[in-house]
């Protein structure tokens, strides 16, 4: 069965190095917390808010060991008034037998406020 694993992180600046470092941190935590293998991942969608455009955060996923052939796509998040600024969101589509309640969704930095109900 395919399940979605969510994650989000914020950055302070629209700078390539910071965006890539934050995305790498988030992806590694999602993988580690859920014991995800690249071969079990169907695809990964990443969205960024309008104030992030210095680089494609998906580059980091392709650089992970064994993740070269996992389809990844970047897109823009809906610009909702008073929404969270400088936010990178990830939706990983993962083939697993793990129940939805067991999935560890990862929210870091200011993105913790997006889903306080999922914080452990």
Query: Please, what are the domains in the chain?
Result: 2-115 (3.30.1330.40)
The full DSSP string for 64-75 is: STT-TTS-EEEE
User: Binning pLDDT at 50, 70 and 90, where does residue 118 land?
Assistant: confident
Q: Catalytic residues, which ones?
A: 6, 62, 74, 77, 89, 107, 115
The conformation of residue 36, written as its DSSP 8-state character, comes to -
Distance of alpha carbon 9 from alpha carbon 48, whole angstroms = 10
Percentage of the chain lying above the pLDDT 90 cut: 88
- 66-108 tens-digit pLDDT: 999 999 999 999 999 999 999 999 999 999 999 999 999 999 9
pTM of the model: 0.94
């Amino acid at each position: 069965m395919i399940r979605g694993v969510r994650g989000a992180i914020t950055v302070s600046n629209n700078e390539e190095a910071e965006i890539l470092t934050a995305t790498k941190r988030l992806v590694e935590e999602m993988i580690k917390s859920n014991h995800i293998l690249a071969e079990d991942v169907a695809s990964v969608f990443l969205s960024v808010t309008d104030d992030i455009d210095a680089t494609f955060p998906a580059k980091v996923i392709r650089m992970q060991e064994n993740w070269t052939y996992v389809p990844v796509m970047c897109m823009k998040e809906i610009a909702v008034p008073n929404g969270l600024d400088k936010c990178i969101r990830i939706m990983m589509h993962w083939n697993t037998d793990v129940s939805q309640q067991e999935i560890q969704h990862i929210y870091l930095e200011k993105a913790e406020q997006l889903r306080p109900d999922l914080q452990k």
